[in-house]
């Protein structure tokens, strides 16, 4: 495995708290397919971890509530034929999921008014377009 997976800043996924499970991947394969456990399931106990700051942890628990099973978030990877590459993919996927879930909420939008000049120009252009279309009617062609 290639080093610690950063979530954000200096906070990273602790290797000791990651739970790995391997199984046979579905789909096409070759001679090696029936003997290798290449599918990877990575589980991380979000509710009991001490690696995340408390604020991040609460935010992540709230945002990932639909994905959690007893406070544990799990990620699967089976795109690659090699278990090692699937492990890399699963760890990166988990790190990005946690980075997104622990991100601070966006700043609230400040409502702004449309400038009067812009609104007047829009209405003037609508009026011109209306006059153009009205001029195309065949009423006075008789």
Q: Is the pLDDT of residue 75 over 60?
A: yes
CATH of the domain at 51: 3.30.160.20
Residue 142 lies in a domain: no
- Cβ–Cβ < 8 Å for 92, 86: no
φ, ψ of residue 74 to 5 degrees: the values are -130, 145
Q: Is residue 46 part of a domain?
A: yes
Reading the block at residue 110, the tokens are 């400040």
> Which of 34-48, 63-77, 96-110 comes out lowest in average pLDDT?
34-48
The parent domain of residue 22 ranges over 6-102
Answer whether residue 118 is part of any domain: no
Give the count of domains, the chain: 1
Place of tokens 């007893």: 70
Q: Is residue 138 part of a domain?
A: no
Q: Is 136 domain-assigned?
A: no
Would you say residue 132 lies in a domain? no
- Residue 130 pLDDT class (50, 70, 90 cuts): very high
Rounded Cα gap, residues 5 and 27, in angstroms: 29
């Amino acid at each position: 495995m290639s080093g610690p997976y950063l979530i954000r800043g200096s906070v990273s996924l602790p290797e000791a708290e990651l739970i790995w499970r391997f199984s046979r991947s579905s789909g096409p394969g070759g001679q090696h397919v029936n003997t290798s456990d290449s599918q990877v399931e990575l589980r991380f106990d979000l509710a009991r971890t001490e690696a995340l700051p408390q604020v991040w942890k609460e935010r992540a628990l709230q945002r990932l509530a639909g994905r959690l099973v007893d406070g544990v978030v799990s990620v699967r990877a089976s795109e690659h034929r090699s278990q090692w590459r699937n492990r890399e993919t699963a760890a990166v996927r988990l790190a990005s999921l946690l980075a997104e879930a622990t991100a601070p909420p966006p700043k609230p939008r400040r409502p702004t008014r449309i400038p009067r000049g812009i609104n007047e120009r829009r209405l003037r252009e609508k009026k011109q377009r209306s006059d153009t279309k009205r001029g195309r009617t065949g009423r006075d062609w008789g």
